[in-house]
Chain A
Amino acid sequence: MNIFTRLQTIDRRVLYLLIALVITVPLLVRPGRHPRVKFNEVRNAYKTISNVPKDKLVIISITWGPGTTAENGPQTEVMMRHLFQRGVKFAVVSWDQAGNELSYEIGKKLEKEMGKKYGVDWVHLGYRVYYPQVVFRGMAQNFQKVMEYDKFHTPLSKLPAVSGVKTSKDIGAVIEITPSGTLELWIAYFNGPYRIPLIYCPTAVMAAEAYPYIDSGQINGMLNGVIGAAQYEALIGMQNAKTDAAATSWALSAAHIFIILLIVVGNLGYLATKRAARGGNGGGR
């Protein structure tokens, strides 16, 4: 087997070991340096949240679970952190059973770190069965009647953060954090009809689909995967903090470069083998 054939047939176990190393090392080293470049959609998300009036509620919609924690977790954390920093009240609602617990843990961690209080500065509305179209419309008409209780079955009327929220007019923005295509539902049934700003936080693989909606103004800002979260962290003054988002953005950098190198190596082998085969056949026609 010559070198060109070998370049095309690296054992997959070697590849698995290498990618594990490439991803793990930055996550263990945890560099604090955040991306220098900030995408326009991330800046717009920051501006949108910065402009939400303090007497209005922000809804954080959670559709993610453990599978995408690496991307959606830092997004959730940075959005909650910014809202806590600004003193804007927010309500988290989860459409995923596991995301229900995960988002609550993130909220509790930040609440402790930033000296906030559950029920006063934020609430968690718990897990809701995923039938959003009608729920969105109902929530816009009568928030108290459709949501009724928080995660612990406390009536919303007893929680100062949300007791005054009656209709869509009391909602300042929606932040949709998701690994799936739930964006159109918010646009069609909530943010579009009631003119409420929408921030979209998808996994990077879903972000490409959202650009037409950014262009049309139906999305006010977007955090493009964990890189978007890292850029947002830099915008709220955490440019040198050793966060999960920063570490992951460097792990992704290393992984992307590794994949590109593998593609190049594979193609070099492929082209060389092709050329050798032509040479063996008398240089082709």
Chain B
Amino acid sequence: MGQSLHHIWTWLAMPRHGLALAVFIIGALGIGALFLGILCSVPARFRKGIVMAVTFIGGLYLSLEFLVPYKNVHTGKYPLTEVMPTVANLEIVIGCFALLLGIWNLFQIHGKTLMKFGKDWYNSAIFFLTFFSIAILGFLRDKGVHGTPEMFSILFSGFLLSLQSTTFSLIAFYIVSAAYRAFRIRSAEAGFMMVAATIIMLALVPVGALLTAWLPETGFLSAFRLERIGYWILTSPNMAAQRAIAFGVAVGALATGLRIWLSLERGSFFDRQL
């Protein structure tokens, strides 16, 4: 039985090209659609049960694999860990479906706006234009079509990268404005924070080291060099605070993880009719 399954899996996972690959992709999509169709036709109370069971089994496998590495005495291997590469591949496939879901969602929103010529419809038109041009040019470039690498580069480096970098770099302007307007010493705590921030800001850049370069590199006075004070702040008070935060976050994550695993989480899809 185990061997037969192994043979089937090996046959399914074999690399394929051309027509065979196309048949496999269409077949996989068909089976997926069939499975979703069956799931949708099941009464809601059973469907919820199926989702809960799949979530529980998935979580159970990952927990057991991580926490209880059971070793087979005959083979000397860990059976649960042995199948991890297959599980990893399955998860990559599921991740790709999440990408598709995101694209579908964008198409729906922008498609509706464009069809109705709603507010700012031209933004939706630009979305479709850029989406298809960069996708098609990317595929053509990978196929080695003449001239497409340059055109792809204009879209990718000229537009996408520049726009993303510009958007992110705007933060610098807001930080300057916010630091100037909001950083007032209204209390002793604010004063402490300002001193610590100033030391860290200077200690982390080369000019900070230059400011106290006149102090000796060894001995008692070396402790007053800006980079040393900054390093002490990062590795002592900061570290204590970060540890406390990390413990708090870990406990919270554990509680949330358990709630999701046992399907106790409210909100999301569990409270709605599936």
A-side residues, CB < 8 A to B, are 10, 12, 15-16, 19-20, 23, 33-37, 39-40, 65-70, 98, 101-102, 128-131, 133-135, 137-139, 141-142, 145-146, 152, 155, 204, 208-209, 211-212, 215, 224-225, 227, 230, 249-250, 252-260, 262-263, 265-267, 270-271
Contact = CB atoms under 8 A, between A and B. Distances in A.
Contacts of A141: 81-82, 84-85
Given A211-B234, A253-B205, A266-B184, A15 B177 contact: yes
B62 A134 contact: yes
A215 B176 contact: no
Given A35-B206, A146-B85, A146-B89, A68 B194 contact: no
Interface of A is mostly: helix
B201 interface: yes
Contacts of B95: 129-131
B131 interface: no
Interface stretch (B31-39, B42-50, B159-167, B266-274): B159-167
Interface residues of B, number: 62
Given A145-B85, A259-B175, A259-B179, A98 B161 contact: yes
A270 B184 contact: yes
Contacts of B227: 37
Contacts of B229: none
A275 B161 CA distance: 50
Given A66-B168, A256-B202, A266-B184, A19 B176 contact: yes
Interface in B179-238: 179-181, 183-185, 194, 198, 201-202, 204-210, 213, 227, 231, 234-235, 238
A255 B99 CA distance: 39
Nearest to A208: B238
A256 B173 CA distance: 13
A266 B66 CA distance: 54
Given A138-B85, A256-B202, 20 more contacts: A15-B180, A16-B176, A37-B209, A129-B95, A134-B87, A135-B92, A141-B81, A146-B85, A209-B245, A211-B235, A212-B242, A215-B239, A250-B207, A253-B207, A254-B207, A255-B176, A262-B176, A262-B180, A263-B180, A270-B184
